[in-house]
Amino acid sequence: MFCGRAIVSTSTQDQWAQWLLERRHGGDLERHDSVIDALIPVRDQVLDNANPAQGEVLLDVGTGDGLIAFGALPRLRESGRIILSDVSQDLLGQCRSIAQELSVLHQCQFLKASADDLTAIENESVDVVTTRSVLIFVGAKQKAFQEFYRVLKPGGRLSMFEPINRFGYPAPPHMFGVYEGYDVTPVMEIARKVKDVYGRIQPPSDPMLDFDERDLLAFAEEANFEEIHVDVKFEIRPLSPQRWEVFKNSAGNPKVPTLEEAMTQVLMPKEKDVFESHLRPLVESGQGTRRSAASFLWATKL
């Protein structure tokens, strides 16, 4: 079953498709595969929590490249059906191509829609709703939960995964990067200019940072879900060595520039040389710390 290897990216695609298919991994196929390898256990946990059964209808909101949706098909069997929804028409086109390659197009429906507006889907018409790293881009999170509840049949299940990006934010002044942190004490003033680029684009009020696991629980309860479960994982660990060219040409999410783009935007050539001379050895030798938090939530509509 599909694990995310198919990649077709062009400069004419929207920001969501460009990021998912290229900018997320700096255009490096080895990095792409390592990202997918890390996401497969997340996909499997989301599906285990949802427990889709033979013949059911599963709606994957913010499907991206269809990792969860196509991963659900062996559980739904031939009589099951998946609805792949996303705000990106380009990504839906990518998913359609994958479905054709897998000969499962007859089991798929493609819908351009945002998580907080699923009006094209009838009330109580699906058995399972899944999401992965979707609400971090949605301002109206409570409305999204209400939409999930509305489209689910009685007995239907919601299962989601969301990074808790508020964890560790903001990074200390001497650290560069919130989630992958490197000590930049000797070049703090230069680093601050680069960090400010990201801070202006995604301040604390941004949907990516304006919630935590307790908010997710409250959103689900307010939407009238019952039997709500939340499993949170916090992690602090050493970073692995990374290739500098891939690191500086990767973007953390669809809305922010790559490090190369940010440096070019705000640093003078000499400042850029100084900053790279300090940061590059740390990246290439893995002298940094990753701080992350993520939440699985699953709930039932009784």
pLDDT digits (tens, 9 = 90+) for 227-237: 999 999 999 99
Bridge partners of 159?
130, 298
Give the whole-angstrom CA distance, residue 156 versus residue 217.
17
Closest CA to 160 of 53, 75, 232: 232
pLDDT band at 170 (very low <50, low <70, confident <90, very high): confident
pLDDT band at 171 (very low <50, low <70, confident <90, very high): confident
pLDDT band at 119 (very low <50, low <70, confident <90, very high): very high
Domain of residue 255 covers 170-203+240-286
pLDDT value at residue 142: 98
Report which secondary-structure segment, H or E, holds 95: helix 89-101
Bridge partners of 229?
298
pLDDT band at 168 (very low <50, low <70, confident <90, very high): confident
Q: Do 41 and 137 belong to one domain?
A: yes
| Mean pLDDT computed over every residue of the chain | 95
pTM of the model: 0.94
Q: Do 251 and 127 belong to one domain?
A: no
Extended strands (E) in the chain: 57-61, 81-86, 108-112, 126-132, 152-163, 175-176, 180-183, 226-238, 289-300
Is the Cβ–Cβ distance between 235 and 290 less than 8 Å? yes
CATH of the domain at 26: 3.40.50.150
Q: Do 106 and 32 belong to one domain?
A: yes
Q: Do 45 and 176 belong to one domain?
A: no
Q: Do 218 and 298 belong to one domain?
A: yes
Pairing of strands 57-61, 81-86: parallel
Q: Do 84 and 217 belong to one domain?
A: yes
Q: Do 65 and 184 belong to one domain?
A: no
Give the total number of structural domains in the chain.
Answer: 2
Q: Do 95 and 214 belong to one domain?
A: yes
Coil vs helix vs strand at 63: coil
Q: Do 59 and 156 belong to one domain?
A: yes
pLDDT digits (tens, 9 = 90+) for 187-223: 999 999 999 999 999 999 999 999 999 999 999 999 9
Give the whole-angstrom CA distance, residue 263 versus residue 200.
14
Give the whole-angstrom CA distance, residue 149 versus residue 129.
9
pLDDT digits (tens, 9 = 90+) for 59-102: 999 999 999 999 999 999 999 999 999 999 999 999 999 999 99
Cβ neighbours of 42 (radius 10 Å): 16
Give the whole-angstrom CA distance, residue 26 versus residue 250.
4
Q: Do 71 and 120 belong to one domain?
A: yes
Give the whole-angstrom CA distance, residue 232 versus residue 176.
25
Question: What's the CA dihedral at 112, 117, 118, 123 to 10 degrees?
Answer: -170
Q: Do 157 and 174 belong to one domain?
A: no
**DSSP string covering 27-44, please?**
T-HHHHHHHHHHHHHHHH
Q: Do 92 and 127 belong to one domain?
A: yes
